[in-house]
Structures are given as C-alpha cells and as structure tokens.
A and B are shown apart, each in its own frame.
Chain A
Amino acid sequence: MQHTDKNYEIQMNSINEKLIKMGSILEEQFNKALKVLSTRDENLANDIIDTDKQINDLNHDISDTVFQIIAMRQPMADDLRFLFCSIKIIRDLERIGDHLVTVAKKGYRINSSIPPEFIEKLEILGNKASVMTHDALNCLFERKLSQADKIAERDDIIDTLHGEFIKDVLSYMKQNDDYIPDSLSLIQISKGLERVGDRITNIMEEVHFLIEGKYSSE
C-alpha cells in the first residue's frame, strides 16, 4: 500500500531507486575489475576509479535524503527500518566500491610473468564476491531472506579461499625475489575481495533487521 502523502511516497521510492543504482554500478565495477586482472588494461582501471565517484555521490545523496525524511516525516515501522537499514548499508556498498578500486589500481600493474593460476584464483574469488553482492542486494530489494543463511556460508568459503591463496603467494614470493612487489599486490587484491565478503555479511544483517525487526544473532 502506498503512502497517502504522494511526496513522501516519492521520497521513499527515490531511496530505493538510488540503492538499486548503487547496486547496478557496483555489479559493473565487479565485471570491469575482474577484466582488469586478466587484461591489465590501464584505461579500464582508470574508468573504475572514475566511476567510483558516482558510488560516493550516491552514498551522500541517499544519506541526505534519509536525513531529510527523518527530520520532516518522523518515519515509523517498516519505513523507519528501511531508512535505518539504508543508512547503514550504503556505507558498506561504498566501501565495496573502494575495494574494487584497489583491485583495479593494483591489478593493471601486475607483471605478465606472474603465473596465470594466481589470476585465475583471484577471478574465482572475485566472481564469488560479485554473485554474493548481487544476491544480498536482491534480498534487500525483494524483502526476502531466502538467501540469507547461504550468504554467511559463502563468506566462510571466500575466507578459506583467501587463506589458501595467501599461503600459495607467500611460498611463491620466497622463491621469486624479483616478484615480491607483484606478489604483495596479489595479496592486497585478495584481501580486498575477502573484505567484500565481510561487507556483504554486514549488509545481510541489516536486511535481516529490515525484514524481521531484529538481527539474526538476537
């Protein structure tokens, strides 16, 4: 059911639309960042860095709208939970954007002599993080918790893959002194993708609160 006050309805809808936009830009950023890893395309990396500004702007934009609605409308019940949830998850979405910028900045400089299996493993990790982000945002937009438990399990898988990757890169570094800077970049990229998993777990907690009125741990 829509709000009786059409302007209120428009304001609330605008937040939802901006969240969808933030989500779709992030999805694009994921695709491009993973492509940078395989192509070392500097232009694409710069494109990711530039696009990140849009995510930051949306973060501030949503924040301002939520602030205005709280001040002017004194929202209640599901409106209040949605605004509360939005204000918290935009921070996580903005940070996911930052992690993808790290992937881009480090990614295009990685020496082409680095064994390709490292890049393949990062792509696997990145794809998992990307799908996780997509699913979590779907839970938010559809107000359904169907994927909620699986998200936590998938974060554990990402953590494990990241741990194994670090071990592999460290042993490679020991044997290849010349590639220490590149290896450190690989570790930073993997760490960034692992952090995406953590951010998504936070987001799912907020979506749980939005739908159930309490956190899943309560």
Chain B
Amino acid sequence: MVNIITTKNVNVHYGDKKAIDNISLNFLKNNVTALIGPSGCGKSTFLRCLNRMNDVIEICKIEGQICMNNIDIYSNEIEVEQLREKIGMVFQKPNPFPKSIYDNVAYGPRIHGFTDNKEELDEIVNTSLNKAGLFNEVKDRLDDLGTSLSGGQQQRLCIARAIAIKPEVILMDEPCSALDPIATSIIEELITELKKSYTIIIVTHSMQQAARVSDKTAFFHLGNLIEEGDTSKIFTKPDNQKTNDYITGRFG
C-alpha cells in the first residue's frame, strides 16, 4: 500500500485562532478515508488544506508539510490549478454550473486544455457520467440544464465533473448531507466503486456513513487528531476513550 498524500505537523490558524494543531496524517492510495468529529473540530479545514482551498482565505495561515506523491503541494513550483487537476472536490451542497449537463462535465477538460476535439470530449463526458453512475439517467437529455436534475443526480453530476479532469484524489465534504436516503445509498455505492480508480477522502457527520464507506477513519477533536486507524476497529474497539465517547453519542 502506497501513501498518495502525506501530511506532517500541519498547523492552521485563522487569525489568532488555531484550527488545526500539529496534525500528521497519511492517506493510502485507492482507499477511502473518512474524517469524523464534532462541528468545529477542524476536519473540513484540514480537508481544504489538501487542495489549497484555504489559500483564498486571507487570515488563514498554514504551517507544516503536505505532499502528494512526495511533492510539497505548497511549494512555489506548484500551480494551484495544476494541483486541482490532480485533486478534485465535491461539496456539501450540489453546485452544478448553470449550464447543460454536457457542459458541466466538459468544462474542466476544456479549461485544462485536455482537448478541443468534439469526439474526444464526447468520450470524456460519457465515460465520466458513466463512472458517476448517471449516464443512463441523462443520456437522452445532455443538453438540459444541470440544475434541472434532482439533488442526488446533481451531486453525481458534480462527481462526474470532478472525474472528468482525471484526478488522482477526490475530496468530499459531506457529499450526502443534502440528499435523501436513496440518493445517499447511490452515492455511497459509487464511492466504493470509485475507489478502484481514485483515492477518496470524505468528511462526514454521519458515523454510519463513515462506517459503511471508508477503509480508514480519522477522528478529530478541537483541532487535534485523536485517533486514526482501520474503520472496522475505530467503530468497534477504538483505542482512545474520547473516540469511543464521540462515536457512541456521549458528546459532540
């Protein structure tokens, strides 16, 4: 097993407030890692460090080392656009562009200059929609607006959009929190399928979801990494009492 992302002694400050305290956590290739913890524990902040989403927040200061494939993603030689080609992201609320289903998926490959060839682009769009488990539902209406789809379909469209630029890692920030149970099940099944080709890091408030979809789980509390390990162990016999108390609903 190879680590695709390694992080070492990561500290994050928002102004005077320390949001992440000296976290070192690695992510195995083709694994699903769940980040869990109560609101404000730093899990989303940490996730957003992994594709430099925090760069746009002026008061945010990041220390420590975050490497992808042994290359420091915060080094001067790394262009953030280049990084996000490798690390895609899916957000809590489905956010398709106000464009056609086709253009939503084709947008990334176009701006990253993958191809201008219509046939090649068609192939990328179809494959991406297929991998996101959406193709059969939308193949006859690719010109319809992405925003016209149901919530679950929109979220899968966002996953297709992320896949289209052939990333190695997909970050998911509570991807199912706005979805109903069936749409959630479809996304969870998709996550299990996608990990064959991608590494997935998911932030979730649902303990059951973390238990269902992830191979590894990391528990955050007050900006600290309390415990990480195999999901099967974390949810049955965690080593740390705080982890036990959180996942059994004793705080948080």
- Asked if chains A and B come from one complex, the reply is yes
Which residues of A are in contact with B by a Cβ distance under 8 Å?
A: 1-5, 8, 73-81, 212-214
Tell me whether A77 and B248 are in contact (CB under 8 A). yes
Question: Residues 21-55 of chain B: 1 if any A CB is under 8 Å from the residue's CB, otherwise 0?
Answer: 00000000000000000000000000000000000
Check B247–A4 contact: CB distance below 8 A: no
Q: List 9 A-B contacts (CB under 8 A).
A: A3-B248, A4-B251, A5-B249, A8-B249, A74-B207, A77-B243, A77-B247, A78-B244, A213-B236
Nearest neighbor of B239 in chain A, beta-carbon distance: A213
What total of chain B residues lie within 8 Å of the partner, measured CB to CB? 17
CA A172 to CA B250, docked complex, whole Å: 62
B248 x A76 contact (CB < 8 A):
yes
Q: How far is the CA of A8 from the CA of B249 in the complex (A)?
A: 9
Q: Which residue of B lies closest to A211 (CB)?
A: B237
Q: In the bound complex, what is the Cα–Cα distance between A133 and B250 (angstroms)? A: 32
Tell me, yes or no, whether B235 is within 8 Å of chain A by CB. yes
Report chain B residues within 8 Å CB of A75: 248
Decide: A77 and B238 in contact? CB cutoff 8 A: yes
Residue from A1, A2, A73, A74 having most chain B Cβ neighbours under 10 A: A1
Q: Are A3 and B249 in contact (CB under 8 A)?
A: yes
* Cβ contacts under 8 Å, A73 to chain B: 249
Contact yes or no, A213 B248, CB < 8 A: no
Contact present for A4 and B236 (CB under 8 Å): no
Whole-angstrom distance between the alpha carbons of A77 and B233 in the complex?
Answer: 9
Complex: A74 Cα to B208 Cα, angstroms: 8
Q: Are B250 and A3 within 8 A (Cβ)?
A: yes
**B residues lining the A interface (CB < 8 Å):** 207-208, 211, 233, 235-238, 243-245, 247-252
Q: B140: shortest Cβ distance to chain A, in Å?
A: 39
Within the assembled complex, what's the spacing in Å between the Cα atoms of A2 and B251? Answer: 8
- Interchain CA distance A140-B247 in the complex, whole Å: 22
**Contact A4 to B249, CB < 8 A, known contacts A74-B208, A76-B207, A78-B244:** yes
With both chains docked as a complex, state the minimum distance between the C-beta of B159 and any C-beta of chain A, in angstroms: 26
Given contacts A73-B249, A77-B235, 11 further A-B contacts (CB under 8 A): A1-B245, A3-B249, A4-B250, A4-B252, A76-B248, A77-B236, A77-B244, A79-B248, A80-B236, A212-B237, A213-B236
Contact partner, A81, options B236, B245, B250, B251, Cβ 8 Å: B236
B237 and A1 contacting across the interface, CB-CB below 8 Å = no
Contacts of A212 in B (CB 8 A): 237
**Which residues of chain B come closer than 8 Å to A213, judged between CB atoms?**
233, 236-237
Q: Which of A2, A74, A80, A214 contacts B250 (CB 8 A)?
A: A2
A76 and B247 contact, Cβ closer than 8 Å, known pairs A81-B237, A213-B236, A213-B237? yes
A residues near B211, Cβ cutoff 8 Å: 76
Chain B residue at minimal CB-CB distance from A212: B237
- List chain A residues, Cβ under 8 A from B237: 77, 81, 212-214
